Structure 1
């Protein structure tokens, strides 16, 4: 089942309305163009058949008219020869052909009218098809434009992010450098602190040793006194 079921549906269709309702306008316009082209082929084929029928009717009409003229000539000849009976019979044949001629003439006119109608429909359908193709080009151009804008925005977004990352890395490197400078300033100082701590430790050891000897002496003196008693 196509987008359009009859030729009049295509001719009376509103392309803008169809495209506005479509979820995928580009796909819809392709289907519409395909349907129109197929219908146009069918209408042109019908027109070709009508033209062939019209030519055949024209030949029959010319043949009947030619035979009618011949029977009239025969009727005249019969009258000239005094054969009224033959003249009457000839005129009867001519009358029969005149009736056939009238029928063929009506058929020819009907075919002519049908062909004119088909020609008008082909013209309208072709115009619709041209409009559809123009809209297809417009949709393609709009799609390309939107795609280009989206690509540009994405590129700008990526560049913005890249710039932010670069700034962050720059600040991170600055912090690393500052920390490195602080650590560099402490280099050498650590050895001095260790040396001073060791010397202070020696002094502290001497003080502890002196205190220890004092306690020993004191304790030794007390033990001597206890024995003397």
Structure 2
């Protein structure tokens, strides 16, 4: 597998995991729930604003009611004092205030109706949000259990993105081992042939190796010639009857015979 192929596999695996996270239904459900909660909060804020406005109008109406009663008292007092002009002025102001109170009452009634409607909508939305939250948690739990089951099955079967990454790493390790083995074998051949020089070897070490190989060959040739001469010097010797043949009785070496190797004549 080339480097570009490995990069494509790795990028494809990472992009697949990223898309899986983006398509996670649990996150989508959480987002929908948060949106509904924000809607509920906005509705409650609107309900609070309507209630505040209604309370302000109620206080203003109470103040107007007090003034309306005070003007009636003032008109009666002015009439008692013979000040009909002051009584008329008080009654005129009282009549004007009465129309203002009527308009304020209409606003108060409209706000009261709006508050009741908002309160009803808020209650229904709160119930839907609570029901959605319960269903959301149930779906998330089911999805998590299914996801855990899939991962367990993939791990048991040796599949999945993580196991694919493991397989890719294993293939890369095998390729590296094979390359290193081939390189080691190639350098061994080059060193033995003399194409590469051993930087740690002593000077003229290559000559020493060649001379040692020649000495070993000459020694083997001498031993072979000695065996031939010894065989020819024995009268009546025939092939297969010598001491080194299968039919001859050859003494078994002792346990310490290896100590004499290389010390005596180099004969088998």
TM-score using structure 1 length = 0.55
For residues 32-78 of structure 1, give each alpha carbon's deviation from its aligned partner in whole angstroms, at most 9, with x where no partner exists.
11111111221111122112111110111001000000000011112
* 1:125 has 2:121 as partner: no
Aligned residues: 141
For residues 166-187 of structure 1, give each alpha carbon's deviation from its aligned partner in whole angstroms, at most 9, with x where no partner exists.
xxxxxxxxxxxxxxxxxxxxxx
Partner of 1:99: 99
Q: Which runs of 5+ in 1 are unaligned?
A: 1-22, 159-200, 203-229
**CA-atom RMSD, angstroms?**
2.5
| Contact map agreement 1:29 1:132 (CA 8 A) in 2 | no
Q: For the residues of structure 2 that align with 1:112 and 1:97, how far apart are their CA atoms? A: 22
* 1:41 has 2:41 as partner: yes
Q: Which runs of 5+ in 2 are unaligned?
A: 1-22, 159-239, 242-268
Partner of 2:206: none
Structure number with greater Rg is 1
* 1:137 has 2:155 as partner: no
TM-score using structure 2 length = 0.47
For residues 63-100 of structure 1, give each alpha carbon's deviation from its aligned partner in whole angstroms, at most 9, with x where no partner exists.
10000000000111122122222212211111111111
Q: Which runs of 4 or more aligned residues in structure 1 lie more than 6 Å from their structure 2 counterparts after TM superposition?
A: none
Q: For the residues of structure 2 that align with 1:97 and 1:85, how far apart are their CA atoms? A: 18
RCO higher in 1 or 2 (8 Å CA, sep ≥ 6)?
1
Point out the structure with the larger helix share. 1
SS of the equivalent of 2:82 reads: coil
Q: For the residues of structure 2 that align with 1:57 and 1:122, how far apart are their CA atoms? A: 23
